[in-house]
C-alpha cells in the first residue's frame, strides 16, 4: 500500500509511464518468468532430451511428494502461519503406508485413506496447539517436527521398510505390485489406454493443485483463508471463525502430507525412517517462489505449482548439463532471490528511483523549477 | 527561519502546490480526503525519495530524500497512523534512534528514563516511561508520538490529524502543548477535518483540492462556509442532517441490562459495570465519554468480540434473550459493527474492495458449496453505488482508497449482512467533510428504514446533531442519559468527567439518579 | 469451549508423564559402581537413525547380553550432533561407568571428551571413526578404502571388455565417501578400458540416487555399471534403470550389506545388485574387547576388520549369518 502511495507521487512525467507499465507487466507475470527462463535454458542446452516425456515425468515425479506438501504449506502460509512439521508428517505417513502393506498386506485403496487420516490427525494436533493453546505456529510445528519424526523412528526401529514384498513364489504379492502404482519409477496408471500411461505422482500433484486452487478462489473457505491471513482482527469481527479456519488449514496440510506419504514410499520402493527430512524447506521455497508472502494473505496454489516446477526443472536442467554439485547449490539459492524480487515491482521501482536520484544529483542545476 | 516554498508541477497526486510556513505559526492544511494533504506532508517529512519542485528551509534550498534526513534538518512528523512499537516501553519509543549512551557505548537506561519523563511532562502526560506502549490508550499513544517528535531539535512539526483519536479534554491538552511549541518558534503544519478546532488553534489556512492548490487565508478572517466551499468546490448548505424524531413507543430492538465486562490491563480493556443501554427501531443512540470510558467496550461486548465468558448481563434482541458469543453469532442475529480502528480491525488492506465488502456476507452468496461470484459482484456493485464509494472499480485494492472511501467500504460490508442493529465506533474518524456528510445521510436513511443504531463518537457536535438520545459513560459506568432536547456539550462533558461520583461506589446508584433527574 | 479445557488437561497429563518416564529409565543407571564384580558399560552412538548404526545397536545389545557380569546402559543417541555426543560422553564419565564405547560422529570434536574419559581411567573403545588422540584402549573399525577397492575389483571382473561406469557418491565431505571413492578408482585402473563417465553426489539417499540416475539415462548416457557407495543409493539407481527398461543391461554394485529385508544382501539374493560388501558393524568384536578390558586382559590397540563380499552364491548364507532381527 505504501508502494501505491509512492506511485502516486514519485511517478510523474509521462515519459515514465511506458517504463512503469513494463515493470508492472513483469510483476503480473511474476513467477512465470522464472519458469520461462528455466524452460528456455533447458530447451536451448538440451532440447530433445529435456522436453522428452520421460524426462519431464521423471523431473516432476521426483518432486511430486514435496509439491503436494507445498500445496498444504501454501494454505497454512496464507493464514500467516507456517508448518515446519510437513516433512516429518510425510515421513510418518510413508512409514505407516509401508508397514500396512508389509505387515498387514492391505490393498492400496485401504492404505491411502488410512495414511490421509493419520496425516489429518497430526495436522489437527498442530491446529489445536496453535489456536486453543495459543502456541505460535513456528514453535508448535517445530515441536511436532520432532515428535512426529520420533514416532516414525520408534515405529520403524530405525530400519527402512521395503515395499517390494515377495510372496512364497518369489514374485511380488498382489498388493505390493499394485502399491508400486503409487509411484515406483516405471509403473504407470492406465498403461495402454493413454499411450505410455500416466505416472500417478504427477497426476496426483496436478489434481491436488487444481482442487486446491478452486477451493481457494471459489469457496467461502478460500475467502476466509485470505481474510485470516490478511487481517485476523478484521476477519474475526466480520464473523469469520478464525480458529476454525486455522485448524482447518493445518488439518488439510496434514491430510495432504498423509496423501503424499505412499507416493514417497513407492518412489524409493521403501519407507526410510528419515524420509522427508528437510522437505519442509522445499515446500516453503516452492510457496514463496510462487508468490506467497510469509506475512499471510498473499499467494495462490497456481503460484506454488509454478514454484515447484521451477525448483524441480531447474534441478533437472542443471543435472542434465552436468553442472557441479556445489555450483548447483549456489544457483538454486540465487533463483529464490530472483524469483522473489521479480514479484515485487515496487522493489524494482525503488531501484529505478534511486538511480534517477543519483543521476539528478550528478547534475544539480538542471532540475527543480522553483516556485 | 523564513519559511518554505514548494511546488510540484505535473504530478497526479499533487500538482503545483505552494506552502509558506512561518516560524511560530500554526498553518492548517484543509481539504477533503484525497486532496493531497497527507501526500504533501509525506514529501515534507522525506517519506518519498523523489518529488518535483523545491523545498527551502530558512531560506536555504534543501533536498529531502529520507525521513532520517528530514529529522536531522529539524522536521518532525506525527502520522495519522501511529508509528510506535507496541512491545517496547514508552521511553524506548520516544528516544528510538536517539538513545543516550554511556561512555562504554551502552544505552544509558537511567538518562533515557529521565529524558523521556521530561518529554512526557512537556506533553502533559503522567505515565511510567517503563510501561510498554501496548498498554497505553490511543490518546496516550498520540501524545507519546508528540513527545517523540519533540525529542530532537525541532524546527518544523507536521501533524496529520492528531486529534482524530482524541476526546475533547485530550484535545485541549494537545493544543496547550502546541501553543508552547509555537511560542518557542517552532512552525507547525496542522491537518484536521474539524473546522472548529482549526478556528481555535490555526493562524493561517491553506486549502487543497484534488491535489491542487486552492488558496491561503488568514484564519482570523476566514469564514467557515467559505472554507468549506473552497474544499468541496461547491457550497454546502447544511453540514449535518436533521434526523426525524422517533416515536417513543417504537419497539425496543436492542436492550442490554446490567452489562458487565471484566477489565484486562494487558490489552488495556476497560471494565464495564452494570451498563444499561437500549435502542429502539429507527433510533440513533450515541455513546459519549472520554477515552477509556468504556464506549468501545459496550459495542464490543454486545457484538461478542470479547467472547462469551468475559461478559455478563442480560441482552435482548427484539425482546428475545441473546447471548453475545462471537462476532459470527452476532452477525447471524442481525448485528453489524463498524470497528474503531479501520485498518487494524475492519479491512484486509491488501485485498480488493469486493473481497472486503462481501467478507461478512459470503453465506448469502453460497451456491453448490461455491461462492456465486456473479451474485456477489452484483450485490457489491449495488452497495458501492448506493454508498457512493469513489473507487476505480470493485477490484481495486482497498489500501489505495482514501480514508473516507475505505470507511464506506466498511459500511458496505456491514450493510451487506442486512443488519437490524448497527454498531458504529467512530464512523467518521479520519474522514473528510464531504464523506462525513454522506455517512450522516446514510445513518439517517438507515434509521428511517427502521435500523437501530448505537454509535460512539468523540465529536460532540456530531452526536448532538445526529442522535435521538445520548448515553454518557465514565470509567465503565453510565453517568447520564440525555434526550435530544436536553443534551448540550456542557452537560455531556460534565457527566463524562463525573469521576468523583463514580468513585464513591456506595453512592454510585444515587448519583446516577441525580444525573438523570437534572 | 469444553474441548479447550480437555486439550489443556491432556497437555498437563503429558507434561506429568514425561518426567515420570525419564525417572523410570534413569533409575537402573544410578548404581554405577563396579562393586561385586558387576560392571556398567555405556555406549555413545553418533546417529541411531542410520540403518547401519541401528543394526550395530541391535548387535551390540545382543552380544553384550552374553556377558552376565556386564550391564549395558541404554544406548545414548547423539543424533548426528557432535556437541550432543561430547556432553553425553562427559555425563558417562561423571557417572563413573566401568567402560565406554564410542562411535564418534566426527573425530576432532570428540577428541577432548575421549581424553577426559581416559584421564578418569575409564577404558574407551572407539568404533569405526578415529579420534585425534592415542589416549584410548582399543580401536575397532573397517577400512573404507578397502571397501571401495573391493568394489572396484568386482567391477573389473564384471566388465572384462571394459565399459562405462557411473558413480553415486555419499556426502562429498564425509570421510567414508572420500576413502571409498579413492579405493574404487584405484582398483578400476587395472583395466584401462573401464571409464567412470559420470559421478555425482546423492548424499547417501535413495531418492536422490533415483533422480540422478534418471537424469543420466535421460541424457542418453550409456552405462554398463553403476557403483554406489551404499546400498540404498544402488537400489535407487536400480529403480531408475528399471523404469527406463535398462535394468537387465546394467550392473549395480552397492556397499554396507545389511541383513535387513530392505538391505543390500537381500537385493543381491534377488538379483537386483551384482554384489555388495559387508562393512563390519564391529559389534561382536567390541563386546569381546570391552569384556577383556574389564577383566584386565590385554587387547590389541587397533583392529581392522575384513570387508566381506556378498555374491549371488553366498547371499542366502550371509543373510542368515547376519540377521539379528529375532533378537530385537
A143-152 pLDDT per residue, tens: 999 999 999 9
Would A70 be classed as within a structural domain? yes
Q: What is the mean pLDDT of chain B?
A: 81
Give residue B254's region: left, alpha or beta (phi > 0; psi -120 to 50): beta
Quick check: A62 and C214 CB within 8 A? yes
What DSSP assignment string belongs to C277-304? EE----HHHHHHHHHHHHTT----SEEE
- Claim to verify: residue C152 and residue C224 sit in the same structural domain: yes
Enclosing domain of residue A73: 65-277
Closest CB to A128 among C7, C53, C210: C7
Residue A132 has pLDDT above 60, yes or no: yes
3-state secondary structure at position B191: strand
Which CATH number does the domain B254-334+419-517 belong to among 3.40.50.300, 2.60.120.260, 3.10.20.30, 3.40.50.2000?
3.40.50.300
Residue A5 has pLDDT above 70, yes or no: no
The reported pLDDT for the residue numbered B298 is 94
Residue B52 distance to chain A (closest CA, Å): 6
How far is the C-alpha of A84 from the C-alpha of B45, rounded, in Å? 42
The reported pLDDT for the residue numbered B137 is 77
**Closest CA in chain A for residue C239:** A185
Rg (CA), chain B: 24
The reported pLDDT for the residue numbered A357 is 72
A161–chain C Cβ distance below 8 A for any pair: yes
How far is the C-alpha of C74 from the C-alpha of C78, rounded, in Å? 13
**Domains held by chain A: number:** 1
Would C109 be classed as within a structural domain? yes
Higher-confidence position of B79 and B243: B79
Instruction: Tell me which residue of C230, C214, C132, C252 sits closest to C174, measured CA to CA.
Output: C230
The reported pLDDT for the residue numbered B223 is 77
Closest CB to A316 among C206, C215, C243: C215
The answer to whether residues B517 and B511 touch, using CB atoms and an 8 Å cutoff, is no
Would C313 be classed as within a structural domain? no
Residue C18 has pLDDT above 70, yes or no: no
The reported pLDDT for the residue numbered A18 is 63
Quick check: C200 and A325 CB within 8 A? yes
Would C31 be classed as within a structural domain? no
Would C265 be classed as within a structural domain? yes
Residues B361-379, mean pLDDT to the nearest whole number: 88
Residue B265 has pLDDT above 80, yes or no: no
C319 pLDDT band, cuts 50/70/90, is very high
The reported pLDDT for the residue numbered B516 is 45
Calculate the alpha carbon distances from C184 to A323, B328, B424, C153 in Å.
Answer: 23, 69, 79, 8
Q: What is the pTM of this model?
A: 0.76
How far is the C-alpha of B112 from the C-alpha of B100, rounded, in Å? 6
Residue C11 has pLDDT above 60, yes or no: no
Percentage, residues of chain B above pLDDT 90: 21
Closest CB to A233 among B42, B345, B358: B345
A137 pLDDT band, cuts 50/70/90, is very high
Would A145 be classed as within a structural domain? yes
Would C231 be classed as within a structural domain? yes
How far is the C-alpha of B351 from the C-alpha of A164, rounded, in Å? 50
The reported pLDDT for the residue numbered A239 is 87
- Claim to verify: residue C59 and residue C160 sit in the same structural domain: no
C54–chain A Cβ distance below 8 A for any pair: yes
- Interface probe, candidates C207, C237, C316, chain A, greatest A C-beta count within 10 A: C207
Q: What is the mean pLDDT of chain C?
A: 86
Quick check: A161 and C242 CB within 8 A? no
Closest CB to A162 among C50, C210, C262: C262
Residues C319-327, mean pLDDT to the nearest whole number: 83
The answer to whether residues B137 and B169 touch, using CB atoms and an 8 Å cutoff, is no
Tell how far CA B475 is from the center of its chain: 20
A146–chain C Cβ distance below 8 A for any pair: no
**Closest CA in chain A for residue C9:** A133
B194 CB-contact burial (10 Å; exposed 0-12 / middle 13-18 / buried 19+): middle
How far is the C-alpha of A220 from the C-alpha of B372, rounded, in Å? 10
C:151-190 residues touching chain A, CB 8 A cutoff: 172
The reported pLDDT for the residue numbered A345 is 62
How far is the C-alpha of C65 from the C-alpha of C68, rounded, in Å? 7
Least confident of A109-113, B388-392, B505-509, C160-164: B505-509
Residue B186: φ, ψ to 5°: -80, 140
C54 pLDDT band, cuts 50/70/90, is confident
C25 pLDDT band, cuts 50/70/90, is very low
Q: Which residues of A touch C211 (CB under 8 A)?
A: 58, 62, 315, 319
Quick check: C48 and A49 CB within 8 A? no
A16 pLDDT band, cuts 50/70/90, is low
Least confident of B47-56, B188-197, C193-202: B47-56
Quick check: A132 and C220 CB within 8 A? no
Calculate the alpha carbon distances from B23 to B3, B41, B162 in Å.
Answer: 7, 17, 20
Write the pLDDT tens digit of every residue in C296-306.
999 999 999 99
Would A334 be classed as within a structural domain? no
- Claim to verify: residue C61 and residue C170 sit in the same structural domain: no
C:283-302 residues touching chain A, CB 8 A cutoff: none
Residue A331 distance to chain C (closest CA, Å): 16
Enclosing domain of residue C113: 39-141+280-297
Query: Which chains pack against A, by 3+ Cβ pairs within 8 A?
Result: B, C
Q: Which residues of B touch A361 (CB under 8 A)?
A: 63
How far is the C-alpha of B49 from the C-alpha of B443, rounded, in Å? 41
Quick check: C243 and A185 CB within 8 A? yes
The reported pLDDT for the residue numbered B150 is 81
How far is the C-alpha of B213 from the C-alpha of B205, rounded, in Å? 12
Does the fold of domain B254-334+419-517 match that of domain B26-232? yes
The reported pLDDT for the residue numbered C288 is 93
Question: Any idea where the domains of chain B sit in the sequence?
Answer: 26-232, 254-334+419-517, 341-416
The reported pLDDT for the residue numbered A43 is 87
**Closest CA in chain C for residue A61:** C211
How far is the C-alpha of A291 from the C-alpha of B467, rounded, in Å? 48
Quick check: B355 and A369 CB within 8 A? no
B503 pLDDT band, cuts 50/70/90, is very low
Residues 6+ apart with CB under 8 A from C214: A55, A58, A62, A185, C240, C243, C244
Write the pLDDT tens digit of every residue in A318-357.
888 888 888 888 988 888 788 777 766 666 667 777 777 7
Write the pLDDT tens digit of every residue in C99-114.
999 999 888 888 888 9
Query: Can you give the length of chain B in residues?
Result: 518
Element (H, E) at C44: strand C39-45
**Closest CA in chain A for residue C233:** A268
**Domains held by chain C: number:** 2
Q: Which residues of C touch A128 (CB under 8 A)?
A: 7
Least confident of B217-231, B232-246, B275-289: B232-246
Closest CB to C54 among A128, A159, A264: A159
- Interface probe, candidates A158, A270, A328, chain C, greatest C C-beta count within 10 A: A158
- Claim to verify: residue C194 and residue C223 sit in the same structural domain: yes
Closest CB to C7 among A102, A132, A186: A132
Residues C247-268, mean pLDDT to the nearest whole number: 92
The reported pLDDT for the residue numbered B453 is 94
The answer to whether residues B376 and B350 touch, using CB atoms and an 8 Å cutoff, is no
Residue B463 is placed in which grid cell?
452526536
Which residues are paired to A219 by β-bridges?
A: none
Q: What is the mean pLDDT of chain A?
A: 84
**Pairing mode of beta strands B284-288, B452-456:** parallel
- Interface probe, candidates A234, A291, A343, chain B, greatest B C-beta count within 10 A: A234
- Interface probe, candidates B2, B11, B40, B50, chain A, greatest A C-beta count within 10 A: B50
A217 pLDDT band, cuts 50/70/90, is confident
Instruction: Tell me which residue of A210, A199, A184 sits closest to A264, measured CA to CA.
Output: A184
Query: Which chains pack against C, by 3+ Cβ pairs within 8 A?
Result: A
- Interface probe, candidates C218, C231, C242, chain A, greatest A C-beta count within 10 A: C218
Quick check: A46 and C210 CB within 8 A? no
Greatest mean pLDDT among A84-93, B18-27, C36-45, C172-181: A84-93
3-state secondary structure at position B15: strand
Q: What is the CATH number of the domain that holds C273?
A: 3.40.50.2300
Least confident of A12-21, B12-21, B266-275: A12-21
A83 pLDDT band, cuts 50/70/90, is very high
> DSSP secondary-structure letter at B400?
G
* B26-232 under CATH 3.40.50.300, yes or no: yes
Residue B448 has pLDDT above 60, yes or no: yes
Residue B339 distance to chain A (closest CA, Å): 8
Is the confidence metric ipTM above 0.85 for this complex? no
Amino acid at each position: 500500500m505504501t508502494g501505491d502511495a509512492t506511485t502516486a507521487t514519485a511517478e510523474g512525467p509521462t515519459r515514465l509511464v511506458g517504463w512503469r507499465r513494463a515493470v508492472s507487466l513483469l510483476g503480473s507475470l511474476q513467477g512465470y518468468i522464472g519458469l520461462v527462463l528455466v524452460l528456455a535454458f533447458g530447451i536451448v542446452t538440451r532440447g530433445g532430451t529435456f522436453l522428452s516425456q520421460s524426462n519431464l515425468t521423471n523431473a516432476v515425479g521426483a518432486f511430486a511428494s514435496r509439491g503436494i506438501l507445498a500445496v498444504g504449506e501454501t494454505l497454512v502460509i496464507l493464514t500467516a502461519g507456517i508448518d515446519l512439521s510437513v516433512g516429518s508428517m510425510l515421513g510418518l505417513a510413508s512409514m505407516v503406508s509401508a508397514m500396512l502393506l508389509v505387515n498387514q498386506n492391505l490393498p492400496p485403496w485401504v492404505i491411502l485413506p488410512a495414511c490421509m487420516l493419520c496425516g489429518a490427525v497430526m495436522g489437527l494436533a498442530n491446529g489445536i496447539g496453535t489456536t486453543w493453546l495459543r502456541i505460535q505456529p513456528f514453535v508448535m510445528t517445530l515441536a511436532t517436527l520432532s515428535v512426529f519424526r520420533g514416532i516414525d523412528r520408534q515405529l520403524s526401529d530405525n530400519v527402512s521398510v521395503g515395499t517390494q514384498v515377495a510372496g512364497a513364489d518369489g514374485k511380488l504379492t498382489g498388493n505390493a505390485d499394485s502399491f508400486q502404482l503409487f509411484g515406483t519409477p516405471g509403473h504407470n496408471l492406465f498403461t495402454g489406454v493413454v499411450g505410455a500411461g500416466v505416472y500417478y505422482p504427477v497426476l496426483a500433484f496436478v489434481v491436488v493443485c487444481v482442487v486446491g486452487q478452486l477451493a481457494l478462489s471459489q469457496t467461502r473457505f478460500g475467502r476466509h483463508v485470505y481474510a485470516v491471513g490478511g487481517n485476523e482482527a478484521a476477519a474475526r469481527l466480520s464473523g469469520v471463525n478464525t480458529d476454525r479456519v486455522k485448524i482447518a488449514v493445518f488439518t488439510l496440510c496434514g491430510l495432504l502430507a498423509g496423501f503424499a506419504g505412499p507416493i514417497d514410499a513407492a518412489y524409493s520402493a521403501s519407507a526410510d525412517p528419515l524420509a522427508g527430512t528437510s522437505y519442509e524447506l522445499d515446500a516453503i521455497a516452492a510457496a514463496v517462489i510462487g508468490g506467497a508472502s510469509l506475512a499471510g494473505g498473499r499467494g495462490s496454489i497456481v503460484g506454488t505449482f509454478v514454484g515447484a516446477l521451477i525448483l524441480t526443472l531447474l534441478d533437472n536442467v542443471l543435472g542434465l548439463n552436468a553442472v557441479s554439485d556445489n555450483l548447483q547449490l549456489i544457483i538454486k539459492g540465487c533463483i529464490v532471490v530472483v524469483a522473489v524480487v521479480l514479484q515485487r515491482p515496487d522493489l524494482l521501482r525503488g531501484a529505478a528511483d534511486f538511480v534517477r536520484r543519483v543521476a539528478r544529483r550528478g547534475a544539480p542545476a538542471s532540475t527543480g523549477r522553483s516556485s | 527561519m523564513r519559511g518554505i516554498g514548494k511546488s510540484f508541477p505535473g504530478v497526479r497526486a499533487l500538482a503545483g502546490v505552494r506552502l509558506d510556513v512561518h516560524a511560530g505559526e500554526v498553518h492548517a492544511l484543509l481539504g477533503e480526503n484525497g486532496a493531497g494533504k497527507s501526500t504533501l506532508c509525506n514529501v515534507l517529512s522525506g517519506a518519498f525519495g523523489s518529488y518535483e519542485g523545491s523545498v527551502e528551509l530558512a531560506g536555504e534550498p534543501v533536498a529531502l530524500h529520507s525521513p532520517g534526513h528530514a529529522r536531522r534538518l529539524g522536521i518532525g512528523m506525527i502520522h495519522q497512523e501511529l508509528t510506535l512499537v507496541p512491545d517496547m516501553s514508552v521511553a524506548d519509543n520516544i528516544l528510538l534512534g536517539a538513545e543516550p549512551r554511556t561512555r562504554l557505548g551502552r544505552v544509558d537506561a537511567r538518562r533515557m528514563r529521565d529524558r523521556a519523563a521530561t518529554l512526557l511532562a512537556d506533553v502533559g502526560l503522567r505515565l511510567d516511561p517503563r510501561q510498554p506502549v501496548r498498554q497505553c490508550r490511543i490518546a496516550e499513544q498520540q501524545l507519546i508520538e508528540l513527545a517523540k517528535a519533540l525529542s530532537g531539535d525541532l524546527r518544523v512539526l507536521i501533524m496529520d490529524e492528531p486529534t482524530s483519536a482524541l476526546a475533547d479534554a485530550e484535545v485541549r491538552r494537545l493544543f496547550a502543548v502546541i501553543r508552547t511549541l509555537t511560542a518557542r518558534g517552532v512552525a507547525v503544519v496542522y491537518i484536521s477535518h474539524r473546522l472548529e478546532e482549526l478556528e481555535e488553534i490555526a493562524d493561517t489556512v491553506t486549502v487543497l483540492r484534488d491535489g491542487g492548490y486552492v488558496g491561503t487565508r488568514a484564519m482570523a478572517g476566514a469564514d467557515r462556509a467559505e472554507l468549506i466551499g473552497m474544499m468541496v468546490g461547491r457550497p454546502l448548505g447544511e453540514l449535518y442532517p436533521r434526523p426525524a424524531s422517533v416515536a417513543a413507543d417504537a419497539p425496543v430492538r436492542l436492550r442490554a441490562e446490567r452489562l458487565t465486562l471484566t477489565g484486562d490491563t494487558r490489552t488495556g480493556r476497560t471494565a464495564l459495570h452494570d451498563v444499561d443501554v437500549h435502542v429502539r427501531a429507527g433510533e440513533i443512540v450515541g455513546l459519549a465519554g472520554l477515552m477509556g470510558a468504556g464506549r468501545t467496550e459496550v459495542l464490543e461486548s454486545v457484538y461478542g468480540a470479547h467472547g462469551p465468558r468475559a461478559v455478563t448481563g442480560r441482552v435482548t434482541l427484539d425482546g428475545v434473550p441473546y447471548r453475545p458469543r462471537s462476532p459470527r453469532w452476532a452477525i447471524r442475529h442481525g448485528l453489524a459493527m463498524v470497528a474503531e480502528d479501520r485498518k487494524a480491525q475492519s479491512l484486509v488492506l491488501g485485498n480488493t474492495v469486493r473481497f472486503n465488502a462481501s467478507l461478512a456476507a459470503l453465506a448469502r452468496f453460497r451456491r453448490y458449496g461455491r461462492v456465486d461470484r456473479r451474485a456477489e459482484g452484483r450485490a457489491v456493485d449495488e452497495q458501492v453505488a448506493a454508498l457512493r464509494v469513489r473507487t476505480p472499480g470493485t477490484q481495486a485494492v482497498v489500501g489505495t482508497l482514501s480514508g473516507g472511501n475505505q470507511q464506506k467500504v466498511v459500511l458496505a460490508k456491514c450493510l451487506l449482512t442486512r443488519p437490524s442493529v448497527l454498531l458504529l465506533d467512530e464512523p467518521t474518524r479520519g474522514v473528510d467533510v464531504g464523506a462525513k456528510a454522506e455517512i450522516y445521510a446514510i445513518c439517517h436513511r438507515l434509521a428511517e428504514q427502521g435500523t437501530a443504531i448505537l454509535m460512539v463518537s468523540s465529536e460532540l457536535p456530531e452526536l448532538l446533531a445526529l442522535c435521538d438520545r445520548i448515553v454518557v459513560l465514565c470509567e465503565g459506568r453510565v453517568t447520564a442519559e440525555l434526550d435530544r432536547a436536553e443534551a448540550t456539550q456542557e452537560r455531556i462533558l460534565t457527566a463524562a468527567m463525573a469521576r468523583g461520583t463514580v468513585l464513591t461506589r456506595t453512592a454510585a446508584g444515587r448519583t446516577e439518579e441525580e444525573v438523570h433527574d437534572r | 469451549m469444553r474441548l479447550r479445557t480437555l486439550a489443556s488437561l491432556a497437555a498437563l497429563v503429558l507434561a506429568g508423564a514425561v518426567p515420570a518416564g525419564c525417572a523410570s529409565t534413569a533409575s537402573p543407571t544410578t548404581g554405577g559402581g563396579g562393586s561385586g564384580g558387576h560392571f556398567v558399560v555405556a555406549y555413545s552412538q553418533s546417529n541411531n537413525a542410520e540403518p547401519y548404526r541401528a543394526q550395530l545397536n541391535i548387535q551390540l545389545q545382543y552380544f553384550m547380553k552374553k556377558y552376565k557380569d556386564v550391564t549395558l546402559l541404554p544406548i545414548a543417541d547423539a543424533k548426528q550432533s557432535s556437541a550432543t555426543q561430547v556432553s553425553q560422553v562427559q555425563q558417562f564419565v561423571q557417572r563413573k561407568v566401568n567402560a565406554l564405547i564410542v562411535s564418534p560422529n566426527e573425530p576432532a570434536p570428540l577428541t577432548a571428551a575421549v581424553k577426559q574419559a581416559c584421564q578418569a581411567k575409564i577404558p574407551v573403545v572407539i568404533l569405526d571413526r578415529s579420534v585425534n588422540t592415542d589416549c584410548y584402549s582399543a580401536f575397532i573399525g573397517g577400512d573404507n578404502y578397502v571397501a571401495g577397492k573391493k568394489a572396484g575389483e568386482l567391477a573389473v571382473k564384471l566388465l572384462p571388455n571394459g565399459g562405462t561406469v557411473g558413480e553415486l557418491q555419499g556426502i562429498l565431505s564425509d570421510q567414508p565417501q572420500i576413502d571409498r571413492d579413492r579405493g574404487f578408482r584405484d582398483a578400476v585402473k587395472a583395466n584401462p578400458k573401464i571409464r567412470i563417465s559420470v559421478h555425482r553426489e546423492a548424499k547417501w539417499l535413495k531418492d536422490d540416487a533415483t533422480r540422478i540416475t534418471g537424469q543420466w539415462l535421460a541424457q542418453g548416457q550409456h552405462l554398463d555399471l553403476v557403483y554406489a557407495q551404499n546400498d540404498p543409493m544402488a537400489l535407487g539407481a536400480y529403480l531408475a534403470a528399471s523404469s527406463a527398461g535398462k535394468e537387465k543391461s546394467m550392473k549395480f554394485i552397492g556397499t554396507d550389506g545389511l541383513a535387513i529385508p530392505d538391505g543390500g544382501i537381500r537385493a543381491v539374493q534377488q538379483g537386483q545388485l551384482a554384489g555388495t560388501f559387508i562393512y563390519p558393524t564391529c559389534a561382536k568384536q567390541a563386546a569381546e574387547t570391552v569384556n577383556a578390558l574389564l577383566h584386565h586382559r590385554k587387547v590389541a590397540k587397533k583392529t581392522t576388520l575384513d570387508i566381506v563380499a556378498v555374491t549371488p552364491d553366498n547371499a542366502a548364507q550371509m543373510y542368515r549369518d547376519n540377521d539379528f532381527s529375532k533378537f530385537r
